[in-house]
Homo-oligomer: A and B are copies of this chain.
Amino acid sequence: MRMLEDKIRAEGRALNADVLLVDSFLNHQIDVQLMKAIGEAFASHFMGKGITRIVTVESSGIAPAAMTALAMGLPLVVLKKQTSRIMNGDVVQTTVQSFTKGTRYELTLKRQFVCPDDRILLIDDFLASGEAAMGVHALLTSLNAQLAGIGIVIEKSFQPGRQRLETLGCDVYSLARVKRMDAGTIEFLDEA
């Protein structure tokens, strides 16, 4: 997506080979016009593929996921990051390790908000190792729902996330694919 790559070139800042700072339009300050265009781009790719529900993980995925849900006319569910296990049959949980931040959390979903046979589209801001998306896949599978598609705003293509998710049979669609970066430079793969 050209508009997004231009924005990353103009405002993104690679701190090193792994960390890309985009808090002026995606994570802290949010460019809602860009999020709307992003939602429309995901809708355009995933329309007609039998998606029944959008999910995301709090909190940086919420804005692009809300715009996608609006563009597709579908319900949105925001998976929670809890710090502890909830001993309660109403929810399903799985532990996710965040390599970037060196933290772990319990990805949490209330059963009632996903139906068996739902075909789910996960929208998230970043794809790197794919840990969060693998956690979403595990939770949905435990509820007999299917993770049918994954829409990513920025993919770090030099990390293994895409390959892991494609192995599960997911359609992974990323709007910007960073091939390589380092302090001062950001290179993109061509769009899929």
> Which residues of A line the B interface, CB within 8 A?
23-24, 27-33, 35-36, 58-59, 62-63, 66-67, 69-70, 73, 75-78, 80, 110, 112-113
CB-CB under 8 A from A110, the residues of chain B are 23, 28
The answer to whether B113 touches A28 (Cβ under 8 A) is: yes
The answer to whether B32 touches A69 (Cβ under 8 A) is: yes
* A78 CA to B113 CA, complexed, in Å: 26
The copy count of this chain in the complex is 2
Beyond A30-B75, A59-B78, 13 extra complex contacts between A and B, CB < 8 Å: A28-B77, A28-B110, A28-B113, A29-B75, A29-B77, A29-B78, A30-B62, A30-B76, A30-B77, A33-B70, A35-B66, A58-B59, A66-B66
* A28 CA to B67 CA, complexed, in Å: 16
* A31 CA to B69 CA, complexed, in Å: 9
Which 4 residue pairs of A and B lie closest in terms of their CB atoms, listed nearest first? A59-B59, A58-B59, A62-B62, A32-B69
CB-CB under 8 A from A77, the residues of chain B are 28-30
CB-CB under 8 A from A27, the residues of chain B are 78
CB-CB under 8 A from A29, the residues of chain B are 75-78, 113
Most chain-B Cβ atoms within 10 A of its Cβ — which of A31, A58, A63? A63
* A69 CA to B58 CA, complexed, in Å: 19
29 A-B pairs within 8 Å (CB atoms) are namely A23-B110, A24-B112, A24-B113, A28-B80, A28-B110, A28-B113, A29-B75, A29-B77, A29-B113, A30-B62, A30-B66, A30-B78, A32-B66, A32-B69, A32-B70, A32-B75, A32-B76, A33-B70, A33-B73, A35-B66, A36-B70, A59-B59, A59-B62, A59-B78, A62-B63, A62-B66, A63-B63, A63-B66, A63-B76
